[in-house]
Structure 1
Amino acid sequence: AGEIAALLRSRGALFFDEIVSGTRRLVTDVEQGLRELIAGGWVASDGFQGLREIAGGSRSRERHRRRAPRGGNYLRGGMFAGGGPPGRWSLVRAPEHDPNLADEYEDEVAEATAHALLARYGVVFRDLAVRESFTIPWRYVLRALRRLEARGVIRGGRFVIGVAGEQYALPDAVTLLRDVRREPHDGTRITVSAVDPVNLTGVLLPGDRVPAQRGRTVTFVDGLPETAPAPVAVGD
């Protein structure tokens, strides 16, 4: 996000493909960076469709990509050749130009990122967060989590045994963890898509890593991958 803001400040309003080429970042990184800048009120688009596709997340982007012609998005040498959301993007205010605004921007984006992680996983810690494509460093997210704990919004503690570092959880997630721990194992089987965030096999859960690819699935038995040799202990 910082690189995009700096590019827009130096060159003015740019189309999506110009931002990709100017930052030399992956398309998904630029999309995420723009989403963070939109959330903080730092950028605007001259067209509603482009703003909707970026702010709408993966579903809007997938609809756009299905409409876009196959191939031709990259030139020889890996340069991006268009096909992104329409419209030009420009800065409303420049976070990196003013130290006070920079601090405000970091706090806003970090807290938004913390809320997104908590909504997705319920329990958040470094090893889980770094799997995501957020461009803001973990240390800023960690400070945001500490602030949320101080305000009584979330809880800090040791919720997942075997994971190093600080852990934070939504109060409802803590209650669910305790309830699940008390439930008897009855062989309940649940199959989900491999792209579901719950697919943490080989990362947090035991077993071989199952790549997050469309068309692949993961089956859980009593909450564990079907081929997992042993459970992950959950603390009080």
Structure 2
Amino acid sequence: MYLPRGGMPARTSSPQVAGRWSLLPERVADPTVRAHATADVLLERYGVLTRGSVQSEGVPGGFALMYRVLTEFEDRGRCRRGYFVDSLGGAQFSTTDVVDRLRSFDTDRNRSVGDGFSHEPVGKAVVLASCDPANPYGAALPWPKAAAEGAGHRPGRKAGALVVLVDGELALYLERGGKTLLTFTEDPAVRTAAAAALAGLVHDRRVDSLVIDRVNGESVHGNTFAGFLAEAGFAATPKGFRLRSRP
């Protein structure tokens, strides 16, 4: 290699081909192998695979193809078919490990007769992208009704939108940009946990700030959810309830 007077080697090839390269395996052309691999990925991703989950993924061949593959898996003992989730039909597929884990959870919820709210300790609140596979709503499960649906506000699996799940159930839906919020519960304990999860987005610096202007289609000022936001650390401003990350 020629070394110029400055000591740096002269460029002998195009800069577009510089860097490290590695040879990738060729794409598998066999449709059967590809269909089996897709079924394995979906089972791993969703745990309980339903028609809605497959349709939300836009799988070539749709649920009809996956149904045939999963039925073959069932015959070979690679998955199980059953009625695991209520109201989602009988065409549900899962693995033995997931079924055993589902059985380990107690689904009975103790409700008080007086106010209709659960008085059991509230579990962990999780904030997810609305299109995240871990969010079953809008795919495996239908979106529950929100208070603002009559005003034209509807949740959806949209880029930039967020959901807050408390004990696996939908509590909040935050539109892209964070200005519009939909609530799906009146339970004070669940609302407190969900508002704290939203504040955690800012405290953990996942977002720089949040300014919530409307709740269920109405101004946040005077809304019953405003008190839960204030308890979580949001401050009232003319533009809405705001929370900023500290420098």
Larger radius of gyration: 2
Query: In proportion to residue count, which structure has more helix?
Result: 1
Question: TM-score, normalised to structure 2's length?
Answer: 0.46
Question: TM-score, normalised to structure 1's length?
Answer: 0.48
Query: In proportion to residue count, which structure has more strand?
Result: 2
